Chains A and B, each alone.
Chain A
Amino acid sequence: MHSDVVLELYVFVLASFLGFQVITRVPGLLHTPLMSLTNAISAISLVGSLILAGAGERTMATVLGSFAVFASTTNAVSGFLITDRMLKMFRRRPAPKPTEKAP
C-alpha cells in the first residue's frame, strides 16, 4: 500500500517534468490550441467516472458518476474537435510576391 503511494508520486513528478519539457517547446503561436488540447486530454477523468456510473453501487454514486461522464464526454469531444478546427487554419503560404523575402 505504502509503496503504491510512493510509486504514484514518482509517476506524477516524472510526468510533470516531461510535461514541462514538452510544453515549453510549444510556440506562442499555438497556445490557444495547446489549452484546448490539454483540456481534451484531461477529460481522461472518464476512466474514473465511467466506473462510478456503471458499477451499480449506490444511487448517489451512479448519479454523480453519470454527470461526470456527461461533463467529461463533452470536454473530450468538443476539445479535440475545436483543436483540430483551429489547427486546420494555421497554414504557411508561399510568399505572394518575389519582393517579399525573409530578411
Chain B
Amino acid sequence: MNENLVSLSYLVAGVCFIFSLKWLSHPSTARRGVMVGEIGMVLAVATTLLKAEIIQFQWILTAGILGIALGVPLGLFVPMTAVPQRTALSHAFGALAAGLVGTAEYYLDQPHISHFQMSALGVEVMLGFLTVTGSLIAAGKLQGIVRDKPFIYPGQNVVNIGALGVGVALIVALVLDPGRTILFPILIVVATLVGVMLVIRIGGADMPTVISLLNSYAGLSAAAMGFVLNNELLIIAGALDGSSGLILSLIMSRAMNRSFRNVVFGGFGGTTVAGPEGAIETRPVRSVDVEETAMLLDAAAKVIIVPGYGMAAAQAQHKIRELSDALARRGVDVLFAIHPVAGRMPGHMNVLLAEADVPYDRLRDLDQINEEFAQADVALVVGANDVVNPAARNDPNSPISGMPILAVDQARSVIVVKRSMRSGFAGIENELFYLDKTQMLFGDAKQVIGGVVDELQRLPARAAVEA
C-alpha cells in the first residue's frame, strides 16, 4: 500500500478519535462517539494489515482471536460494580502492549538508536512496565485479592523516589550508549518494582486519583511508542489518552484538596491517617428506624440523596432508584449529589445509578448542588463519609481540611445510612453524625433502603400533592 495513502488513512483515524471524544461531551451524542471511535480503530488496523512489511499472518490471527475471545466477555459481561477493576486491568493491558513493543524494538535496533529514539524508548518501557504492575496491584485491591489497606513503612518516600531515580539514571545511561544491553532488563525490573511500590501505599479512597494517574501513564507510554515508531497516529492517540488521564487526576486531586505534586509523588493515603482506624466512638448519636425515615422523607418537598462507596459495596443502587421513584410518585423532588471522588474511580457513582435506571438529569455535580442543600428538607447520605465531613470546612487541623465537600449539613435534616459508627477511610471523626439535625439509620444500605421503600408504600397517599 502506498505510504502516503497509509498516512492519510491514519490521519482520518486520528480525526475519528478526536470526534469520538468530542461527542462524549453530552450523553445524547456519546454513543455516536463510540461508533466513530470504532470506525477509526478498524480503519487504522485494516490499513496496517495492508502494509507490505507484514508477510505472515498466523501469529496476528492467533493473538487477535484470543484477544477478541477475552475482550468480548470483559466488555459484555463484567458487572457495572466491577468496572473500576476492569478499568485498572485494561490500563495494565494497554501498558503491557507498549512495554512489549518497546522491548522488541530495542533488541531489534540496538546499538544503532539515536539519542532521541532511545529517550522515547526508555520512557515508553519505564512508564509501560510501571503501569503494568501498578495497575495489577490496583485491580487486585479493588477486587479484594490484595489487601485494601495502605502498606506503609518508614522512609517509604525516600525509597520510592530513589527507585524512580535509578530508573531515570538507567535511561540516561542507555541514551548515552544504547549498546549497554545489560542495562535494559534491569530497567524493566526497576520499572515493575516502582509500579508495585507506588500503588501498595494506596488505600481505597485514593483509588480514583491513582486510576486516573495510571491512565495518564499508559497514554504517555503509547505516545512515546509513537515517537519510537515514527507513527503520528500513535502520538495523537497517546496524547489524547495521556491528557485525559491527566485532567481526571487533576480533577480528583482538586476534589481532595491535594496538590498535584503531592499526588504524583505519592502523598496518597497513609500520610493522612489521623486517629486509629475503625475506632468506635462513644459519643451519643440519634438513631432512627426505617418507618420513621419513610415518614420523614414522605413529608419532605425536596430530598437530596448523597451516594458514596458504601452504596456500591452494598449494591444498593437499585433499591435507591426504587426509593427515588416512590418519592417522586409522592410528589417529592429528588436529586442526587455526586462528589467527584465518591466511589473508586471517576464517575463511578454516575454509572451505578445510570445502571439502576436513575435518569441522569437527576444527578448533580458538587458545584451544581451545593447551594441547593439549604432548600432541601432531607439530605439522605448513603455510604458516604469523608466527602460530607464538615471538618473539611471547619477544622483547620483536620487531615481533610480544605477538601471541597458536599454541604449536607446545610439541609434542614440529615439522615445517614451507615453500617456502624466506625470512622471512614481516612480514619477521621465525622462531626456531621453528632449534629442535632442528623439521625443515623444503621444497617446494610440495601436492606434498610429496601425497608424504607416498603414503608413508603404502606403510607397513605399524600392529599396535598394529589390536588
Contacts and interface: CB of A to CB of B under 8 A. Distances in A.
B393 to A, nearest CB: 21
A3 to B, nearest CB: 12
A97 B70 CA distance: 45
B87 A47 contact: no
Interface string A74-87: 11111111111111
B233 A71 contact: no
Nearest to B208: A31
B195 interface: no
A27 to B, nearest CB: 7
Contacts of A89: 80, 351, 354-355, 357
A103 B359 CA distance: 17
Interface stretch (B60-68, B160-168, B260-268): B60-68
Interface string B209-220: 001100100110
Given A30-B347, A65-B101, A89-B355, A84 B34 contact: yes
Given A45-B101, A51-B53, A66-B63, A24 B247 contact: yes
Interface string B135-171: 0000000000000000000000000000000000000
A19 B355 contact: no
Contacts, number: 378
A31 B21 CA distance: 11
Contacts of A40: 37, 41
Interface residues of B, number: 119
Contacts of B363: 29
A40 to B, nearest CB: 7
Interface bin, chain A: 35 or more
B54 interface: yes
Interface string B352-375: 001101011101010000001000
Contact of B48 (A15, A22, A46): A46
B179 to A, nearest CB: 17
B331 A97 contact: yes
Given A42-B237, A71-B97, A76 B41 contact: yes
A67 B421 CA distance: 49
Interface string A13-28: 0011011101111111
A70 B66 contact: yes
B68 A42 contact: no
B218 to A, nearest CB: 6
B93 A74 contact: yes
Nearest to A24: B247
Nearest to A77: B71
Contacts of A55: 53-56
Given A56-B56, A70-B66, A87-B34, A38 B346 contact: no
Contact of A54 (B54, B94, B365): B54
Interface of B: 10, 13-14, 17-18, 20-22, 24-28, 30-31, 33-34, 37-38, 40-41, 44-45, 48-49, 51, 53-57, 59-60, 62-64, 66-68, 70-72, 74-76, 78, 80, 83, 86-87, 90-91, 93-94, 96-98, 100-101, 103-105, 107-108, 114, 116, 211-212, 215, 218-219, 222-223, 225-227, 229-245, 247-248, 251, 325, 328-329, 331, 333, 338, 340, 345-348, 350-351, 354-355, 357, 359-361, 363, 365, 372, 465
